[in-house]
């Protein structure tokens, strides 16, 4: 139950977003607005504040990103996931060797077998990946945007691959999963490789911060009688499956967003980064890349180290950790 972004063949500028259970009218689909990394800092901060996201082009050197992609898919080469004759850096999915019902990896979804789970756990502790998370260009931009003297990255990062046709993350805002701390945090979504418009990248609901706040206030009011551990959980009795707001972007836009705003889409290049607010509503699109590329990306959450951050997330991701 994910979302497909398509370009109409007769008019390549006319976009439509299709979910498995519905379609968003193309008048409610637009493009993310990119900005260059050398844009004056006040303009970058204003864009993040006004739009709830900041799409920065070519922030990280391309080869630094592609090296991580190569290292990641080398973990999976022996499982037959990659197309014979292609390189791990390309990350081309082997449709013939992997069952058609292979779900892919998304929030709330686990790898379909023990071997993949083992590799996914290991990939979060891979030396190349951990070194990448300390990238000085990325970390400096976090401090520049927030004005913090220092930053702390939550250890539980979300390093995920998305095969063509596989399931992925539903509609949500990040605060749903990080209720264990009261402080502001900044998310960086980092594509690890190029992602085509149909390749499974994130889609963002425009002007959605206020809606995210109002939804969270509603959830908090309904959960106030629950024990604290359940109250801060994205999976308590008042939440949807996998903690998401909806599995269908079209239905969410119509029924919960009241038809307001647009779903914003884009293609992405290795080196791009999208920063977004904790309450900005977003989700993954469906990967239908024509060349069979596997989408790889990571979600990183940064806090001021002196703030009340969600300490539940100061551990590596593992299956069934409840977060």
- Pull the structure tokens for residue 163: 């095969």
The verdict on residue 323 lying in a domain is no
Domain count, the chain: 1
What per-residue confidence (pLDDT) applies to 305? Answer: 97
Q: Quick check: helix, strand or coil at residue 277?
A: coil
The verdict on residue 138 lying in a domain is yes
Q: Give residue 14's domain range.
A: 3-313
**pLDDT tops 70 at residue 17:** no
By the 8 A CB rule, do 243 and 230 touch?
A: no
Q: State pLDDT tens for residues 98-154.
A: 654 454 554 445 555 778 888 889 999 999 999 999 999 999 999 999 999 999 999
The verdict on residue 169 lying in a domain is yes
State the pLDDT confidence band at 20, using cuts at 50, 70 and 90: very low
Beta strands in 112-194 (DSSP E): 152-153, 158-162, 186-191
Give pTM, 2 decimals.
0.91
We report the CATH number of the domain holding residue 9 as 2.60.120.620
The verdict on residue 267 lying in a domain is yes
The verdict on residue 131 lying in a domain is yes
The verdict on residue 284 lying in a domain is yes
**pLDDT tops 60 at residue 183:** yes
- Which range, 6-10, 16-20, 289-293, is most confident? 289-293
| Beta pairing, strands 152-153 & 158-162 | unpaired
Mean per-residue pLDDT for 168-184?
A: 92
Residues 138 and 131: their CA atoms lie apart, in Å, by 12
Residue 56, H or E segment:
strand 53-57
Residues 6 or more apart in contact with residue 88 via CB below 8 angstroms? 69, 70, 71, 72, 73, 74, 76, 77, 82
The verdict on residue 320 lying in a domain is no
CA distances from 252 to 4, 147, 177, 213, 276 (A): 15, 34, 19, 16, 20
Q: Quick check: helix, strand or coil at residue 99?
A: coil
Residue 119, H or E segment:
helix 114-123
Closest CA to 69 of 302, 291, 276, 269: 269
Q: State pLDDT tens for residues 68-99.
A: 999 999 988 888 889 999 999 999 999 886 65
State the pLDDT confidence band at 233, using cuts at 50, 70 and 90: confident
What per-residue confidence (pLDDT) applies to 112? Answer: 59
Count of positions (residues) in the chain: 323
Mean per-residue pLDDT for 190-214?
A: 95
The verdict on residue 318 lying in a domain is no
- Pull the structure tokens for residue 288: 């239908």
What per-residue confidence (pLDDT) applies to 12? Answer: 39
**pLDDT tops 60 at residue 13:** no
């Amino acid at each position: 139950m994910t979302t497909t972004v398509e370009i109409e063949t007769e008019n390549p500028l006319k976009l439509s977003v299709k979910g498995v259970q519905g379609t968003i009218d193309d008048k409610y689909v637009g493009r993310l607005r990119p900005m260059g990394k050398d844009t004056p800092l006040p303009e970058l901060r204003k864009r993040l504040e006004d739009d709830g996201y900041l799409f920065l082009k070519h922030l990280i050197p391309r080869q630094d990103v592609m090296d991580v992609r190569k290292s990641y898919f080398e973990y999976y080469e022996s499982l037959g996931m990659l197309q014979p004759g292609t390189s791990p850096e390309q990350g081309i999915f082997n449709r013939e060797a992997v069952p058609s019902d292979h779900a892919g990896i998304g929030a709330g979804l686990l790898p379909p077998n023990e071997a993949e789970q083992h590799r996914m756990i290991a990939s979060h502790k891979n030396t190349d990946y951990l070194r990448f998370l300390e990238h000085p260009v990325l970390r400096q931009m976090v401090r520049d945007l927030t004005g913090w003297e220092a930053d702390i990255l939550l250890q539980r990062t979300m390093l995920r691959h998305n095969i063509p046709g596989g399931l992925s993350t539903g509609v949500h805002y990040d605060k749903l999963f990080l209720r264990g701390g009261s402080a502001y945090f900044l998310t960086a979504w980092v594509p690890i490789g190029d992602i085509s418009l149909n390749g499974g990248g994130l889609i963002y609901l425009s002007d959605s911060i206020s809606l995210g706040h109002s939804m969270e206030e509603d959830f908090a009011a309904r959960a106030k009688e629950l024990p604290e551990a359940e109250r801060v959980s994205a999976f308590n009795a008042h939440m949807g499956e996998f903690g998401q707001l909806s599995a269908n972007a079209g239905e969410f836009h119509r029924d919960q967003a009241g038809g307001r705003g647009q779903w914003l889409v884009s293609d992405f290049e290795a080196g791009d980064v999208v920063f977004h607010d904790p309450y900005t509503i977003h989700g993954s699109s469906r990967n239908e890349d024509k060349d069979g590329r596997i989408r790889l990306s990571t979600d990183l959450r940064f806090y001021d180290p002196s703030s009340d951050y969600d300490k539940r997330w100061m551990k590596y991701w593992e299956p069934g950790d409840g977060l």
